[in-house]
Amino acid sequence: MRDDETLFRGMDARSWARLVSLVAPGLAPLPPSRQVRDGSLAGGMLLVAHDGVRVLKALHTLRGVVPADGPWEGRATLTALAAQNDTRFAFAVKHDATERFMERVGGRCTMDDDAVTTALMMLNALRELMDEGSLDVLPTGLRSVPLPPVEVVRGAWDRILPDGHAAVLALFDGPALVSGVALRRRDGRVDAVHGVESLRAWCGPLGGDYRRDHRVIRAAVEQHLGPLAAGVFAPEETVHRLLRAEVPGVWAKAVAVRDVIVEPMPAWAAMATGVSAFRAAADESRRWALSADGWIARATRAVSELASSVDLESVLGFDPLGALGLVLRESRPRPAPPADE
């Protein structure tokens, strides 16, 4: 392994598939025999090509080419086609949009761009195409997710994983460590990513209770990768549920009752979960205050409004869990793994 390459190690296909499909259920693997274009699978994504005047072609990732012609009338046409094909995720691409995208990327990329700069540059190019009408996307919420400046993302990254530190996510299914990842940042970039095979090898046999095993895992990761900046240890099902929750304060509550162990708890996470818990409590108080009057009610409403203005976004500069939750709540459920796995 040489130069600035990231080292990926200890990744078996099953645990990695579980981890990825937790945050991207649309990428959950299915066997070829399940990939039949008869509409029997829920979800999927629709891709509509048009020339600004007429619809040229529509491709559905689970149904193949689907009938679509007639005039192109902007978002209304895309919404109607998505509804016809029972999907909530759809892209409309003007025939020259991809070439425009490649021209913009070509004019802006440099060899020295890091992953953050590259990702934001590409997202900005896509946003420009949306503004021009060359690209449209459903659900509409994705269009309004704010793109933070590079400095904000880099600053957040510095807080989440300081240089020279490691982070770990370990997910359990009952007593078994079934999925996870440990990574280390060094010289400003992630230089090592380890899967669950490495974690198992470093830890040896575990007791089967994540509320105790987290200490063993933390010690093992610190021994092999360096000081831990943050560690999250939880049942896979709990994380799956929390990522989709809309109610404020669920992460804070889960941490408070130790459904999720965050160890060590970085300052930004302590602040975010604290604010989140406070906000959840304030929401409860507000409901009570709405039926009351006088000084207590006015004070409670003021505190509640203050609480609603601060959250993970105010700590990190943007809210990655919010954007992820928006997508996950629209996604199909994660398919069950095959019985013989």
Partner 1 sequence: MHPPIRAASLRFTHLDRARWPAAVRALVALGFDAIDLPLVWRDYAHDDGSPDTARLDHDVRALLAVVRDAGARAVLRVGPSPVPDLHRLGLPDAILNDAAARSHTRRRNPRWTTDGLRMVPVPSMRSERYVEAASAWVRAACAHAGDDGVARVIVGCGDPTVLRDAPQDPDCVGLDAATADLAESEASALATFLERLATETGVDASRVVLTIPGDPLANGAAAALAPRWALGWAALHARAGVRAIWRGARLATTLPAGHHVDLRAGHAPLEAPSRATDALEVARIALAAGVRDFTLLHGCAGAGWVGAVLDDQGIARSPAARWEALLGWAHELPDGRDVHVAVPHDRAAILRARSEAVLGALPISWLSRWGFDLDDVTAAPTGALAAEDAAVAHGAPWAPVLGDAGANETTTLTAHIDPPGAALVRVVEGGGARSWVLANTGVASVNVTVGDQGRTLDAGAVAVLHEETGDA
The one among 69, 74, 95, 131 contacting partner 1 by CB under 8 A: 95
Residue 19 Cβ vs partner 1, minimum distance, rounded to whole Å: 8
Give per-residue burial for 280-305: e unless 16+ CB within 10 Å, then b. Answer: bbbeebbeebeeeeeeebeebbebbe
Q: Which is nearer to partner 1, 113 or 313 (CB)?
A: 113
Kindly give, in sequence order, each residue whose CB lies less than 8 Å from that of residue 75, ignoring residues fewer than 6 positions away. 92, 136, 140
57 binds partner 1 (CB under 8 A): yes
118 binds partner 1 (CB under 8 A): yes
Task: Select the span of 15-23, 70-78, 261-269, 284-292 touching partner 1 (CB under 8 A).
Answer: 15-23
- Please calculate the CA angle 116-117-119 and round it to the nearest 5 degrees: 65
119 binds partner 1 (CB under 8 A): yes
72 binds partner 1 (CB under 8 A): no
Residue 208 Cβ vs partner 1, minimum distance, rounded to whole Å: 20
96 binds partner 1 (CB under 8 A): yes
11 binds partner 1 (CB under 8 A): yes
| Residue 213 CA: distances (Å) to CA of 105, 248, 270 | 46, 29, 21
Q: Which is nearer to partner 1, 36 or 290 (CB)?
A: 36
Residue 194 exposed, middle or buried by CB count within 10 Å (0-12, 13-18, 19+) = buried
102 binds partner 1 (CB under 8 A): yes
Q: Which is nearer to partner 1, 167 or 280 (CB)?
A: 167
340 binds partner 1 (CB under 8 A): yes
Task: Please name which of 166, 131, 158, 160 lies closest in space to residue 147, comparing C-alpha atoms.
Answer: 131
Site for partner 1 in 187-206 (CB under 8 A): 193, 195, 197
Task: Select the span of 26-34, 202-210, 265-273, 308-316 touching partner 1 (CB under 8 A).
Answer: 26-34
Q: Which is nearer to partner 1, 177 or 307 (CB)?
A: 177
65 binds partner 1 (CB under 8 A): yes
Q: Which is nearer to partner 1, 38 or 246 (CB)?
A: 38
Task: Select the span of 29-37, 140-148, 149-157, 317-325 touching partner 1 (CB under 8 A).
Answer: 29-37
CA–CA separation, 312 vs 325, rounded Å?
13
37 binds partner 1 (CB under 8 A): yes
Task: Select the span of 57-65, 125-133, 149-157, 233-241 touching partner 1 (CB under 8 A).
Answer: 57-65
Kindly give, in sequence order, each residue whose CB lies less than 8 Å from that of residue 162, ignoring residues fewer than 6 positions away. 185, 229
Phi, psi (rounded to 5 degrees) for 183: -135, 160
Place of tokens 């990768």: 225
Strand order in the sheet with 89-94: 64-65, 55-60, 45-50, 89-94, 135-138
Residue 147 Cβ vs partner 1, minimum distance, rounded to whole Å: 16
Chain-centre distance of CA 321, in angstroms?
Answer: 6
Binding site for partner 1 (CB under 8 A): 1-3, 5-14, 16-17, 20-21, 27-38, 40, 47, 49, 56-57, 59, 61, 64-65, 93, 95-99, 101-103, 105-107, 109, 111, 113-115, 118-119, 193, 195, 197, 337-338, 340-341
